[in-house]
Amino acid sequence: MIAIALAGQPELLIADEPTTALDATVQAQILLLLKQIQRDTGMALVMISHDLAAVAAVCDRLCVMYAGRIVEEAPTRALLTDPQHPYTRDLIGAIPPSDGPRTRLTSIPGAPPHGLVPSGCAYAPRCRSADARCSNIEPGPTKVSSQRVVRCIHASEGVRW
């Protein structure tokens, strides 16, 4: 599928879960190939994945989505080392560490919305930082730095979680 997608030498490749169901060795080879092709041709790559490690290996910028909306966008390294949206923080906190001692994983309380998204912030029912405003105000994107946008009403207040 990747060969077919690249045959026409596109300027943009949208890779939706390109390494799903592949073993670790083949996955690493595919990610390396995508990165090499991107570097050699200047092709833009949009990678859609649940695998943050795979995205981090290939992408310069990362967007985290919740309930169909981008809740945080930033350079990949900055987002992974200093998440500023509560969902991003919780998502990264639920990833087991690859080295060091075993630690208890932090689970995200509740369940994602199914069907109708609640009014206000979609993450509010699961968010440990939510207050009464979160259920009533749908947060717009807030530029918190020159390279980072966060969709949370607390972002504009400078709240750190």
pLDDT in tens, 84-108: 999 999 999 888 877 878 877 788 9
Q: What pLDDT sits at residue 94?
A: 87
On whether both 90 and 147 belong to a single domain, the answer is yes
| Position 155 in a domain | yes
- In this prediction, residue 161 carries a pLDDT of 45
Quote the number of domains for the chain. 2
d(CA 19, CA 130): 35
Q: What is the pLDDT of residue 91?
A: 92
Domain that holds residue 21: 1-59
Alpha-carbon separation of residue 126 from 35, 73, 112, 121, 148 (angstroms): 35, 20, 8, 10, 23
Low-confidence ranges of the chain (pLDDT < 70): 156-161
pLDDT of residue 157: 67
Looking at the structure, tell me whether residues 80 and 55 fall in a common domain: no
Same domain, 7 and 69: no
User: Mind giving me the DSSP string for 101-132?
Assistant: S--PPPPPPS----SSPPSS-TTGGG-TT--G
